[in-house]
Structure 1
Amino acid sequence: MATVELRFSALPEHVRTARLVAAAVARRAGVDEAVLDEVRLAVGEACSRAVGLHESHDIAAPVRVLLIEDEKKFSIEVGDGVTGDSGTARGAEAEGVAESEAEGEDEMGLAVISGLVDDVEVTAGKDGGLIRMTWPTTTAAVLP
């Protein structure tokens, strides 16, 4: 099992780099060429969502991206620093309309990711939020 870890400042201009790195590692891991555009788009959405959450919650910590290569699958985890106790519900009371708009964009981003990735899991906890996306590799199709 090989893992590549990428951390970047929560700035929109770094999302493109994360997409390029994710696609390169996915290709090396054996993800089907026909799916690489979906990988790029999904990672872009997940990273953009994390950047937006960091900006709206004034979090200075970097966005975390793990690219995990397994025998039969390739997974990408995008983590943000928004802990479970600083979620959008509590912030909406203080921020009003701006927070409500950010929440709507957040839901739209998750809907796009769910449309692109068959195996996606979204969690939130004391260490922050996490989107885990998984794709089969071509070696998985070849193995009996």
Structure 2
Amino acid sequence: MTTVELRFSALPEHVRTARLVAAAVARRAGVEEAVLDEVRLAVGEACTRAVGLHQSAGIDAPVQVRLIEEEKQFSIEVEDEAPRSGPDAVISGESAESEDEMGLAVISGLVDEVEVTAGESGGSLRMTWPTPGH
């Protein structure tokens, strides 16, 4: 298993860099060329979502991205530190919730296997694509 970790300040201008790194690592991992655009779009959406959650909650911590190459699959985990429950919950109001749901819907349309976890200490979004066995 090979893992590349990327941490960046929660600023929109860094999302493009995350997309480029993710596409390069996915290509090296053996993700089919035809799927790389979907990887770029999904990572961009996931990172934009995490940046927005950090900015809404006033969190200075970096967004973390893990690019994981395993046998027969390539996964990307995007982690944020924005709380989802309790008095400091970041998602409040219908517009914030619908915007978050829209981002997740776009990602679900691009990626077959998506796992979302969220709690008081933040959230994680894991996306997985198949690769040919090495």
TM-score by length of 1: 0.86
**Cα distance between partner residues in 2 of 1:11 and 1:88:** 17
1:117 and 2:105 correspond:
no
1:25-67 C-alpha deviation (Å, 9 max, x unpaired): 0000000111000000000000000000001111110000000
Q: Which consecutive unaligned segments of at least 5 residues does structure 2 have?
A: none
Q: Say which one has the larger Rg.
A: 1
Q: Which consecutive unaligned segments of at least 5 residues does structure 1 have?
A: 93-98
Partner of 2:89: 87
TM-score by length of 2: 0.93
> Structure 1 vs Structure 2: percent identity of aligned residues?
74
SS across alignment from 2:133 = helix
Question: Paired residues, what number?
Answer: 132
Q: CA RMSD of the aligned region, Å?
A: 1.4
**Cα distance between partner residues in 2 of 1:54 and 1:80:** 7
1:106 to 100, 105, 118: 100
| Offset of residue 138 of structure 1 | 2.1
* Contact 1:3 1:67 (8 Å CA) reproduced: yes
Higher helix share goes to which structure? 1
* Contact 2:76 2:127 (8 Å CA) reproduced: yes
